[in-house]
Amino acid sequence: MNGRTPIMLVARRISPFSPVRHSLFGVFILLSAGVGADTLVLKDGRAVAGKTFVRQDNAIFLTVGPDGEAVTEPVGIPITEIAKVDCDVPAVLGAAPPLLAVGKFSKALEEVEPALKTAETYVDVPGCRWPELFVLKAHILLAMGKDADAAAMASTMRKTKTPNLVCNSRTILSLIAARKGDHGEAASLLEEALIDENSGPSATAAASVVRGLCLLEKKQYPEALKAFLELPVFLPDETALSGIALLGTARAYYGMEDFDRSISVLESLIKTRPETPEITTAETLLPEWKRRRRVIEEAKEP
């Protein structure tokens, strides 16, 4: 239980439910989809242990206790009293990265869409990971080249006023600007994002790609390469943006005149990211770069 002393039935029941007793059947009719969890940590330091919590209005209700038994009288905890929810990670957050790694963006999007309603329900609950699905969907849309749809998602995220989602919304808009070539706007949005250790890996991944694109524009190729390589090295699960990062990596290698690596990265992009807009660019560049490599090699021959 994460080192905390769990307590049961400690939270006050709140209107409109208390002191009315609810049958469990009635609760599931009234409440939103349940979230598997370990504990709700309250702001006063206490912890409510349980297996399943559900939300109605501005409260979280415990419906299944830590022993797996349904509680006969659900306990309501106002969200304003909750410091953090230690909840199960949505299964799709684990299922999507392997699909994205092989370019199956449409399939990943199909997995994400049905879970967004639950994510919306828990968007303002501290510590709950369900809202990360909004970021994941936006990143998938970016990977597919659907920048307008991704920008619309970013706007929705910003309106929640949830710090993590607001931060991610700005990194998404920053990446859209950088991909369009508006590097000044991209840098400004990235600065406004105020990324820190609490922003999450998705914000860090988007920021790394933005920095890489901006550094490419300045022809600072070693620095750009370092930025792009942060994804596979330090953020291996952030596969949605790897198509953009791969093309950037190839361009950085090419700028450094490392033709073998630049061509190898382009070939990998073409093979593994069939749904990305970057593949068209890669297919155009590949024969050009191979010709350049051949010319350089022939010039070196005695």
Burial class for 299, CB neighbours closer than 10 Å (0-12, 13-18, 19+): exposed
Residue 48 has pLDDT above 60, yes or no: yes
| Residues sharing a CB contact under 8 Å with residue 279, sequence separation 6 or more, in sequence order | 243, 269, 270, 273
**What local confidence, expressed as pLDDT, does residue 65 receive?**
78
Q: Per the structure block, which two tokens stand in for 37?
A: 């969890």
Cα dist. 81→14, 76, 164, 187 in Å? 12, 11, 19, 37
* Rounded distance between C-alpha atoms, residue 213 and residue 245, angstroms: 9
* Rounded distance between C-alpha atoms, residue 51 and residue 38, angstroms: 6
Run of H or E residues at 64: strand 59-64
Residue type at 29 in one-letter notation: I
| Residues sharing a CB contact under 8 Å with residue 184, sequence separation 6 or more, in sequence order | none
- Helix, strand or coil for residue 63? strand
**What local confidence, expressed as pLDDT, does residue 195 receive?**
83
Locus of tokens 């939300």: 55
* Rounded distance between C-alpha atoms, residue 293 and residue 1, angstroms: 59
Least confident of 64-78, 89-103, 225-239: 64-78
Grade residue 200 by pLDDT with cuts at 50, 70 and 90: confident
Q: What percent of the chain has pLDDT over 90?
A: 53
| Residues sharing a CB contact under 8 Å with residue 185, sequence separation 6 or more, in sequence order | 174, 177
Name all domains of the chain by residue range, CATH numbers in brackets.
6-87 (no CATH), 91-300 (1.25.40.10)
**What local confidence, expressed as pLDDT, does residue 33 receive?**
54
Grade residue 129 by pLDDT with cuts at 50, 70 and 90: confident
Return left, alpha or beta for 70; rule: phi > 0 is left, psi -120 to 50 is alpha, else beta: beta
Kindly report whether the peptide bond that precedes residue 16 is cis, defined as omega within 30 degrees of 0. Answer: yes
Q: Per the structure block, which two tokens stand in for 165?
A: 């989602």
* Rounded distance between C-alpha atoms, residue 10 and residue 14, angstroms: 12
* Rounded distance between C-alpha atoms, residue 290 and residue 294, angstroms: 6
The answer to whether the beta carbons of residues 135 and 170 sit under 8 Å apart is no
**What local confidence, expressed as pLDDT, does residue 36 receive?**
60
Q: Within 10 Å of residue 38's Cβ, how many Cβ atoms?
A: 18
Q: Look over the chain and give the mean of its residue pLDDT values, rounded to a whole number.
A: 84
Task: For 107, list phi and psi in degrees, rounded to 5.
Answer: -65, -45
* Rounded distance between C-alpha atoms, residue 104 and residue 174, angstroms: 24
